[in-house]
Structure 1
Amino acid sequence: MPMLQADKVYLGTSEKPEYLLLPLANRHGLVTGATGTGKTVTLQVLAQGFSDAGVPVFCADIKGDLSGIAEPGEPKDFLAKRAAQIGFADEYKFSACPVIFWDLFGKAGHPIRTTISEMGPLLLSRLMQLNEVQEGVLTIAFRIADENGWLLLDMKDLRAILNYLADNADTVSAKYGNVTKASVGAVQRGLLLLENQGGDAFFGEPALEIKDIMRTTVDGRGMVSVLAADQLMSSPRLYATFLLWLMSELFEQLPEVGDPDKPRLVFFFDEAHLLFDEAPKPLLDRIQQVVRLIRSKGVGVYFVTQNPLDVPDTVLGQLGNRVQHALRAYTPRDQKAVKVAADTFRPNPAFSTMDAITQLAVGEALVSTLEPKGVPSMVERTWIRPPSSRIGPVTDAERARIMATSPVALAYDKTVDRESAYEILGAQAGGDAAPANGGTSGGDAAQGGGIDLGTILGSVLGTNRKRGERLTATQRVARQVTRTVTNNVAGQVVANVGKSIGETIAGPSGGKMGGSIGRAIVRGMLGGIFRGN
């Protein structure tokens, strides 16, 4: 019988071909097994099967070898032998997947970013390893930023709002609860730790648009987004928190679709134990909620890990499609893991599931998938099919070629730094921070710094905007012109007028007072003009 079918992903062959049904693929899944037993190849087979069926895929490349999915495979004796062994030789062809490479650090893929605001205080607290009191301080910082319209985009914005909290601890405490400088200092140290782990590269704009990991090609294949995670794994907390954030964003942004004919996206979470290690209960509750409900958004989540004990029971019970590679029962914990894995399968009277788990060869797995009525199939010992794409990594030249022709290259490769909390609070503090986009800070008008007439000229040109909106080309020109004029001409006029008035009133020592008087005069004159007085 033909093994490649439109509504199924062919996994391999036991006594019969084993499939994962596309209409039930969003019921989530689990791929487990010891190191070196074939998990990566199984992930590659699943990802390419989904892609060929028109389903976009997001997966992390932990060791660097999953990147080979972007290139067609090459004839090898062991691949031909496996194809013949399972009766797949006639249909076995080599082909590549359409791939987009991503990298949080922007080296082995397009930069992938989010903003501080989108990450939220709960996930940031976990990233910075904060306790409950410190998490409360961070939550207050987010609340104050929201109430004042201060955008939190990158790490310097968060640092600015934390400095504001420290400087105004008494006022803030009276309104929101006790905020001490010691607690703020602890959060700032956590921020420094995160920055040292490379977190500053992750926060900023342009932020990832969910639609860009849900692309399909012109011929209907799903794009495979491969996150380069070999370097990221040196910061495992950042890796796990990023993927949890991405799942949460999918959950929050995508509309309900019920049970589609095939998933809208399949999300592979490799090294899944990092997500659950030392996670506080509120975070575990959040993970459980997302996994349980994201199915209705048409998203399938597949956890990949060595040991089924790595996944909490509340999550494990929601993973209907299972591929179990070999486990070795060398220790009491290993023996417990084997028993847990065996107990999660629907038994097959032909063999002992527990014994089979320890006897599986490399490339062989126990497979149980959901049948048409949503009932798990009886577990079968299955030889996983050989992949059609390359086993092993792409070369640097191949990666560069794929990135150069990527549909998202122009959207993410250049960083954008627009006005946000750092610039606003810096201006309020007297110009300690330099505004984004090459602008200059306010300065002291009495010293010739001038006043910022951007809002005034914006009114004249009809380009006024709400705080936080992106600048148009016209607004950028208007702002640059007004800042230049203000700093070079208006500021000096105000300073000179103020100095003259001050000296007239208070003698030569009245220059500083004159600066304030000069600013007041200009504000009054311009205010009258634009009010129509």
Structure 2
Amino acid sequence: MTAQESQQPSGDPAALPPGAAAVAAGYAFEGPALDLGALLWDGSCLSGAPVKVPLSVLNRHGLIAGATGTGKTKTLQLMAEQLSAHGVPVFLADVKGDVSGVSAPGQDGERVRERAAEVGQEWTAAGFPAEFYALGGIGPGIPLRATVTDFGPLLLAKVLQLNRTQEQSLGLIFHYADTKGLELVDLKDLRAVVAFLVSEEGRAELKGIGGLSTATAGVILRSITAFEQEGASAFFGEPEFDTAELLRTAPDGRGLVSVLELPAVRERPRLFSTFLMWLLADLFHDLPEAGDPEKPKLVFFFDEAHLLFDGASKAFLESITQTVRLIRSKGVGVFFVTQTPRDVPSEVLGQLGNRVQHALRAFTPDDAKALTATVRTFPKSAYDLEEVLTGLGTGEAVVTVLDERGA
């Protein structure tokens, strides 16, 4: 993966065919915007009809989708680099390990120059300011950790998939630790407190506020053990990561690109999901209300987003949906990157205002059903989207964005 820096497309809008001119007018925004490319019209790329997304609506979230090899990662990188150039910090969850090259200048070549000319861009190789992180220290990069105390009982109960009664009991355990001044740094600390509270010596400690049954304690301990086996032990501990670090800019004013390297935890999606829940919840808790700023304070890109939702509990989905809905007002945008919109639950998909949809395949009956379902999620269009989405080439996409009024 290489990095590039581009400028706004050039061209003469007056020379466009009438239909193309109407499309170009739809993407003609007055304020700053990210350049996504140029209009394809009758098989030709019209550099005079740039396709953009306003910077001010990127906190309304988005989706980048498409089959393998259709250009999703390049779209992600294109947007991340331009956000950085506009002074907006970016967070990239790099599951496959293929976006780390954002920090290094790209390599010039004939194909690069051809594509830049097609869309009317002036391409210059450039690296972007980046820092690399590792979840819990698993892999290279700055370790990202949180203490169990700061993670909190409600979020931990969702991750451990506890029922309502067990969640309330976990809240009592945290309450006891807080009143006794016991900081729960890692899962071993939590395990020790649970074991104490069901021992002969510790049972009396919670009698006045409901107590903790041996059966419920057993469920909580077994859930902790299962969670540890998925690699969660590495995530909980000190020093705890300060999420404000993600909001920094470089000395030259460009937004810092924070890259979380996740190849080592790809097979442990619940650990990945746990981190996402904590990170977004912590930011939501700490950031002040921002309304609709001229540009977002931070934009997240979560590649391979299906890993977040595979096997997710109802409580987890409710938590993600609520956080995505509310964090917009804090000036934070979230983009999910995945193969098909079906990978994202409808409750979450309904919160995503901007979409870059690359090609989809329809080789099987299931593929055809998925294609039809995807088309139904788009606004009404003059295009036959089922035909268009299966005929797109690499680097081509159907782009649906909000305008500066949020329409």
CA distance in 1, matches of 2:384, 2:192: 61
> How many Å apart are 1:42 and its aligned residue?
0.9
Larger radius of gyration: 1
> How many Å apart are 1:131 and its aligned residue?
4.6
Q: Which protein is richer in strand relative to its size? A: 2
User: What residue number does 2:32 align with?
Assistant: 7
User: What residue number does 2:385 align with?
Assistant: 353
Shift of the 345–189 alpha-carbon distance from structure 1 to 2, 3 Å rule, reads same
CA distance in 2, matches of 1:96, 1:207: 29
TM-score, normalised by the number of residues in structure 1: 0.66
User: What residue number does 1:144 align with?
Assistant: 176
Does 2:52 align with 1:19? Answer: yes
Q: Secondary structure at the match of 1:167?
A: coil
1:402-413 aligned at under 5 Å gives the runs none
CA distance in 2, matches of 1:126, 1:307: 26
Alignment equivalent of 2:71, drawn from 38, 60, 73: 38
Q: Which protein is richer in helix relative to its size? A: 1
**One-letter amino acid of the counterpart of residue 141, structure 1:** I
CA distance in 2, matches of 1:372, 1:128: 41
Does 2:257 align with 1:227? Answer: no
Quote the sequence identity (%). Answer: 48
Shift of the 154–356 alpha-carbon distance from structure 1 to 2, 3 Å rule, reads same
User: What residue number does 1:102 align with?
Assistant: 133
User: What residue number does 1:295 align with?
Assistant: 328
> How many Å apart are 1:25 and its aligned residue?
1.2
> How many Å apart are 1:332 and its aligned residue?
3.9
Shift of the 271–131 alpha-carbon distance from structure 1 to 2, 3 Å rule, reads farther
User: What residue number does 1:405 align with?
Assistant: none
Given that 1:105 and 1:198 are in contact with CA atoms closer than 8 Å, whether structure 2 keeps it comes out as no
TM-score, normalised by the number of residues in structure 2: 0.85
**One-letter amino acid of the counterpart of residue 220, structure 2:** V
1:97-496 aligned at under 5 Å gives the runs 97-106=128-137, 107-168=139-200, 170-171=203-204, 174-177=207-210, 179-349=212-382, 351-375=383-407
User: What residue number does 1:379 align with?
Assistant: none
Q: Deviations over 1:9-39 (max 9, x none)?
A: 1111114111111111111111111122211
**One-letter amino acid of the counterpart of residue 33, structure 2:** K
> How many Å apart are 1:124 and its aligned residue?
2.2
CA distance in 1, matches of 2:264, 2:185: 24
CA distance in 2, matches of 1:98, 1:118: 30
**One-letter amino acid of the counterpart of residue 94, structure 1:** A
Given that 1:172 and 1:179 are in contact with CA atoms closer than 8 Å, whether structure 2 keeps it comes out as no
Name stretches of at least 5 consecutive residues in structure 2 with no aligned partner: 1-6, 11-29, 40-45
Q: Deviations over 1:476-526 (max 9, x none)?
A: xxxxxxxxxxxxxxxxxxxxxxxxxxxxxxxxxxxxxxxxxxxxxxxxxxx
Given that 1:141 and 1:161 are in contact with CA atoms closer than 8 Å, whether structure 2 keeps it comes out as yes
CA distance in 1, matches of 2:398, 2:208: 58
> How many Å apart are 1:268 and its aligned residue?
1.2
CA distance in 1, matches of 2:287, 2:327: 9
The alignment's C-alpha RMSD in Å is: 2.2
CA distance in 1, matches of 2:120, 2:281: 41
User: What residue number does 1:507 align with?
Assistant: none
- How many residues align? The count is 372
